[in-house]
Amino acid sequence: MKIDLKTMTRKELEKLGHDVEKALTKIQKQDLKKVRSEMEKLAAAHGVSVEDVMGGKIAAPKAPKAKTPAKTKAKAPAKFANPADKSQTWTGKGRPPSWFKTAIDSGAAPETMEI
């Protein structure tokens, strides 16, 4: 079965992605169950339990981790303020605001605008 991703809508692609994740989770569980069974047979053949071999309890199969949203960074404190309007501030990072450029072009020193 060949799927043409270029002709699919966003909704169809999202459903396909969800279906793929679901199928992968199911196969992973089947694989873990098969490996666990093989390990139990091998351990029993040697007269021990899998817990003895692993040094404790065997962890249950884990579901794949869900993507966590990116953490937002704390905003840097303002370093400069517009002399004409103190509510306009700038951290000194990134592109300078127009009021800062205008003040510098007019001959003001950056130190005069520091908070």
Write the pLDDT tens digit of every residue in 48-61.
888 888 876 656 55
Residue 98 included in any domain: yes
State whether 48 and 12 are in the same domain: yes
Residue 64 included in any domain: no
The string of DSSP codes covering 50-115 is HHHHHTSPPPPPPPPPPPPPPPPPPPPPP-EE-SS-TT-EE-S-SSPPHHHHHHHHTT--GGGGB-
The boundaries of the domain holding residue 33 are 5-54
State whether 50 and 90 are in the same domain: no
Q: Please determine, for residue 79, whether its predicted confidence score (pLDDT) is greater than 90.
A: yes
Domain count, the chain: 2
Condensed to tens digits (0 to 9), the pLDDT of residues 8-45 reads 999 999 999 999 999 999 999 999 999 999 999 998 99
